[in-house]
Amino acid sequence: MKVFGFGIVCFISICTLAQSPEGVTPQEAGQQLVKRLGGTLKEKLSTDGPIAAIAFCSEQAQALTVETAANSGYALSRVTDRPRNVANRANESEMKLIQVVQADLAAGQIKPSYSMGEVTYLPLVTKPLCLNCHGAQLIPELEARIRELYPEDQATGYKVDQLRGLVKVAPAE
């Protein structure tokens, strides 16, 4: 494992300082997406409950991601090793990065961002609020709705302070 970890660390350059033409750094663009999606989900959960929050994710999260990306000058997405939406499955190199970030998190040394080439990744670590839809104990109606919307869901069973995935910030094409 040490050889693998060393190799991947050599492959990854940490914390890029590049900026988009609009003057927004990759880290800022990723944080904007996290705040926007997280704020909307928090509001939906508190006012309408978890079933409405799942509906929001299914119907509107991608549009908010695209809109936030257009405003930032970057291509934004989310990737994970345990996707709810299969379109968010990490590729092979991202899976290796997820292993590195998980090891850093376990060691208490997680970084605010990680980079591979020109692409920056921000860790998404579960908070108590996340467990409403991603925890081990879901209300039956929510569990049924998740299965209906996401038949291949793998995004449950999390605990607080586990890596849920990464926000991917790439140069706009």
Q: What is the pLDDT of residues 15-74, one digit of tens each?
A: 333 444 468 899 999 999 999 999 988 998 899 999 988 988 888 888 899 999 999 999
Q: Tell me: the pLDDT tens digits for 108-121?
A: 999 999 999 999 99
Q: Does position 87 have pLDDT exceeding 60, yes or no?
A: yes
> Residue 40 and residue 44: Cα distance in Å, rounded?
6
Tell me: pLDDT of 90 over 60: yes
Residue 22 is predicted with a pLDDT of: 61
Supply the pLDDT for residue 8: 36
Q: What is the mean pLDDT of residues 82-102?
A: 97
Query: What pLDDT score was predicted for residue 23?
Result: 82
Residue 62, pLDDT score: 87
pTM: predicted TM-score of the whole model, two decimal places: 0.84
In the predicted structure, residue 151 carries a pLDDT above the cut 50? yes
Question: 121 φ, ψ to 5°?
Answer: -125, 135
∠ Cα 41 45 102 (to 5°): 55
Q: What percent of the chain has pLDDT over 90?
A: 72
Quick one: pLDDT at residue 96?
A: 98
Residue 10, pLDDT score: 33
- The pLDDT assigned to 6 comes to 32
C-alpha–C-alpha distance, residues 45 and 17, integer Å: 35
List the single range of 5-9, 86-90, 94-98, 167-171 with lowest mean pLDDT. Answer: 5-9
DSSP states along the chain = -HHHHHHHHHHPBP------TTS--HHHHHHHHHHHHHHHHHHHHHHH-HHHHHHHHHHTHHHHHHHHHHHHTEEEEEEBSS-SSGGGB--HHHHHHHHHHHHHHHTT---S-EEETTEEEEEEE--GGGHHHHBS---HHHHHHHHHH-TT-----B-TT-EEEEEEEEE--
Mean of all residue pLDDT scores within the chain: 87
